[in-house]
């Protein structure tokens, strides 16, 4: 059973460019969340997608946008890249509608895409 | 704004010792807390969780304690092993209607180093 997969694993861009990161959720999951993790920090919530719509958004500018496809996979797009966008971008998946009981893992994380901006 | 923070950024222990990692949270509305382990080059890995209607929960070699009065969360690791060396994050979230998970708010993280 494949877990959350992200591509690419590493990416180098220059300021002003645009980037698209991809995520395939764990089998059986229908909800995808994206996080940005700067070096030495905890992950910061960007947004969450469910039923192909953005359901919740964190404190990130409009340069950050996303999309969810009918097969539940998702993309994160960042426009007009800044040096400060250099980070590890994590995708997490979960299942909406499942009754929450103890021991349910809330979100399964992928290993991320390391984005470096030069 | 909401935040989840850690008291100690680093913790160094000997193999076989018990480890305790602490976390303070500020959002009293949060009702679900999770501890994650993150190894170098990997994404966060679920360790254990606890709902706000509990004050203690045990797993295999790990125990999470929740003190809602002082908004404090701790992770206890028994008989710490070198493979436990990693960064540990606490996270909080709101469970929306009991059927979906909202955003996770993470703390800064604690680096745990276990010496053989």
Domain count for chain A: 1
Tell me, yes or no, if B72 comes closer than 8 A to chain A by beta carbon.
no
Q: Does B103 touch chain A (CB under 8 A)?
A: yes
Q: Tens of pLDDT along B19-75? A: 999 999 878 888 889 999 999 999 999 999 998 889 999 999 999 999 999 999 999
pLDDT > 60? residue B5: no
Per-residue pLDDT, B97: 60
Q: Where are chain B's structural domains?
A: 4-115
pLDDT of amino acid A107: 85
Largest interatomic CA distance in chain B = 46
Domain of residue A21 covers 5-98+105-117
Mean model confidence pLDDT for chain B: 88
Assign B84 to helix, strand or coil.
Answer: helix
* B52 dihedral zone (left: phi>0; alpha: psi -120 to 50; beta): alpha
Q: Mean pLDDT over all residues of chain A? A: 92
CATH of the domain at A79: 2.60.40.10
pLDDT tens, residue by residue, A42-96: 999 999 999 999 999 999 999 999 999 999 999 999 999 999 999 999 999 988 8
> Chain A to chain B, count of Cβ pairs less than 8 Å apart?
77
CA–CA dist A88, B86 (Å, integer)? 17
Percentage of residues in chain A having pLDDT higher than 90: 81
Helix (H, G, I), strand (E, B) or coil at B20: strand
- Token pair 């910061």: residue: A44
Both tokens assigned to A118: 């030069």
Higher pLDDT, A97 or A23: A23
**Phi and psi torsions of B83, nearest 5°:** -70, -10
Q: Domain B4-115's class?
A: mainly beta
Do residues B108 and A42 make contact, with C-beta atoms less than 8 angstroms apart?
A: yes
Quote the DSSP letter at residue A83: G
Q: What's the confidence (pLDDT) of residue B57? A: 96
Task: Give contacts of B43 with chain A, Cβ < 8 Å.
Answer: 4, 90, 92, 109-112
Q: Quote the pLDDT of residue B2.
A: 40
């Amino acid at each position: 059973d494949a877990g959350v997969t992200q591509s690419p694993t590493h990416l180098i861009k220059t300021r002003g460019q645009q980037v698209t990161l991809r995520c395939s959720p764990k089998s059986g999951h229908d909800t995808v969340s994206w996080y940005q993790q700067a070096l030495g920090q905890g992950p910061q919530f960007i947004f969450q997608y469910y039923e192909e719509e953005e359901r919740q958004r964190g404190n990130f500018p409009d340069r950050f946008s996303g999309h969810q496809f009918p097969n539940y996979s998702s993309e994160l797009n960042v426009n007009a890249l800044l040096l400060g966008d250099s980070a590890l971008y994590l995708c997490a998946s979960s299942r909406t509608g499942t009754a929450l009981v103890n021991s349910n893992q809330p979100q399964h994380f992928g290993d991320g895409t390391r984005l470096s901006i030069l | 704004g909401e935040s989840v923070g850690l008291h100690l950024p680093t913790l160094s222990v000997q193999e076989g010792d018990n480890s305790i990692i602490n976390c303070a949270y500020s959002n009293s509305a949060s009702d679900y807390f999770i501890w994650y382990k993150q190894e170098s080059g990997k994404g966060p890995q679920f360790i254990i969780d606890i709902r706000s209607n509990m004050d203690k929960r045990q797993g295999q070699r790990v125990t999470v304690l929740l003190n809602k009065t002082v908004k404090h969360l701790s992770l206890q690791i028994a008989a710490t092993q070198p493979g436990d060396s990693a960064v540990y994050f606490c996270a909080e979230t709101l469970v929306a209607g009991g059927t979906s998970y909202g955003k996770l708010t993470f703390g800064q993280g604690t680096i745990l180093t276990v010496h053989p």
